[in-house]
Amino acid sequence: MATLVFSSSLLLSSPPSKFSSPSLSPLLPRFSLSRSSALSSSLSITPSSLTYPTPSKRFALSALSVRASAEVKKKVLIVNTNSGGHAVIGFYFAKQLLGSGHEVTILTVGEESSDKMKKPPFNRFSEIVSAGGKTVWGDPAEVGKVVGGAAFDVVLDNNGKDLDAVRPVIDWAKSSGVKQFLFISSAGIYKLTDELPHVEGDVVKADAGHVGVEKYIAEVFGIWAIFRPQYMIGSGNNKDCEEWFYDRIVRDRPVPIPGSGMQLTNISHVRDLSSMLTLAVEKPDAANSRIFNCVSDRAVTLDGMTRLCAQAAGRPVNIVHYDPKAVGIDAKKAFPFRNMHFYAEPRAAKDILGWQGTTNLPEDLKERFDEYVKIGRDKKPITFEIDDKILESLKVPVAV
């Protein structure tokens, strides 16, 4: 649950003033938030002033309703991808739900015996089982069969990128009486504009696969919510993120960054994504028919991320900028992030769910670096073919 943060603001007693201050009159709804009033009055420090609950009404309301609906336990099914950057979302979400007392089944695409299951987070699924969750494997097109005819209150599809992949899950969910459908989409579907950030409601690329899914969910499902993430870090991640930087930093290699290095991106700790999803499960009505940018509330530049990784590693860093076209390499293969501004803000989640981000890149990256070293990846022999090509080409003076 989000922590209550009080500013040290002292509130004034209602002055006999010329200007209107309707908010100072004692309104019934305010007094009914008795729990939060009690909390705040214990922190007030001016005996002579009349104090009002300092937390914003929005937060106080959500604090109460989180308590209320956290009492209702749900049966949740997570249909999870078997690879890629989003795989870790289902892992954290499952554990958080289990920690809150909900029942969780996680259906991973494919076979339990596949090589893919040897990688994180799948090789840590015992943590889900020991927390009381169920793990099954199969084809999402046959989801009903795979879950053995079990019934669920909530389904999260954290797998499909287009309607072909997700429709069977949506249709089955609807027909089997699932009440709430959640979908992990992508902030990559926003149309690029000169203005940032991407905000929920902004125009998306009509031909994007995820968009087709979003539209279909909105058409057929009663209670639904859609989540658009960007990049994430966190233990159990299936795809490299910060590791790309550490690989170069610990080996004292220059870090080649395409373009100016000023491009903004959003790198969240996956626990933030998980907490947003959990809030949606616990506040289905508030979250209903809403799109949420599933990201932390800070952007970082590509150069900035590099610097933060170096600081986390306690080592110096040499950033080198290059133009992928001039070097003749595919930027997608050379670098793990989009070579452009790619920045969404979690405004809907903050506004509607009272969600608060906890990602703290400087701190989180230190933890990630500790694990990087612990598993011996700093000693692993790695070849840097593309890097070498880039660095080679930069030694040649560029004719203007």
Partner 1 sequence: MGGTRFIGVFLSRLLVKEGHQVTLFTRGKAPITQQLPGESDKDFVDFSSKILHLKGDRKDYEFVKSSLSAEGFDVVYDINGREAEEVEPILDALPKLEQYIYCSSAGVYLKSDLLPHFETDAVDPKSRHKGKLETESLLTSKGVNWTSLRPVYIYGPLNYNPVEEWFFHRLKAGRPIPIPNSGVQITQLGHVKDLARAFIQVLGNEKASRQVFNISGDKYVTFDGLARACAKAGGFPEPEIIHFNPKEFDFGKKKAFPFRDQHYFASIDKAKSVLGWKPEFDLVEGLADSYNLDFGRGTFRKAADFSTDDLILGKSLVLQS
Kindly list the residues in this chain that would bind partner 1 in the complex (CB under 8 A): 7-12, 15, 17-21, 23-24, 52, 56, 58, 193-197, 199, 259-260, 262-264, 297-301, 303-305, 307-308, 341, 345, 347, 350-351, 361, 400
Residue closer to partner 1 (CB basis): 169 or 331: 331
Smallest separation (angstroms) from partner 1 to the CB of 196: 5
Which helix (H) or strand (E) segment is 273 a member of?
helix 270-282
Q: Are 346 and 297 in contact (CB under 8 A)?
A: yes
Q: Which is nearer to partner 1, 239 or 350 (CB)?
A: 350
CB nearer partner 1, residue 2 or residue 218: 2
Size of the chain in residues: 400
Q: Which two tokens stand for residue 382?
A: 């790695």
For residue 60, give Cα distances in angstroms to 19, 42, 67, 280: 27, 15, 11, 17
CB of 320 to partner 1, least distance (A): 16
Spatial strand order of the sheet with 290-294 comes to 134-138, 103-109, 75-80, 154-158, 180-184, 223-229, 290-294
For partner 1, the closer CB: 121 or 357: 357
CB of 12 to partner 1, least distance (A): 6
Q: Tell the smallest beta-carbon distance from residue 385 to partner 1 (Å).
A: 27
Longest Cα separation, the chain:
75
Considering the complex, what minimum distance in angstroms separates the CB of residue 335 from partner 1? Answer: 16
Return d(Cα 283, Cα 71) in angstroms, integer: 11
101-111 per-residue burial string, b: 16 or more CB within 10 A, e: under 16: ebbbbbbbbbe
Query: CB of residue 268 vs partner 1: minimum separation in angstroms?
Result: 12
The distance of closest approach from Cβ of residue 127 to partner 1 in the complex, given in angstroms and rounded to an integer, is 31
Q: CA 171, 173, 179 angle in degrees (round to 5)?
A: 130
- 167 vs 307, which CB is nearer to partner 1? 307
Nearer to partner 1, 45 or 130 (CB): 45
> Measured from the CB atom, is 45 or 177 closer to partner 1?
45
CB 107 within 8 A of CB 143: yes
Q: How far from chain centre, in Å, is Cα 64?
A: 24
DSSP state of 349: I
Return the number of the residue (156 or 312) whose C-beta is nearest partner 1. 312
The H or E element containing residue 182 is strand 180-184
Give the count of beta carbons closer than 10 Å to the beta carbon of residue 58: 13
Residue 398 and residue 400: Cα distance in Å, rounded? 6
Shortest distance, CB of residue 299 to partner 1, whole angstroms? 5
Cα separation of the two ends of the chain? 56
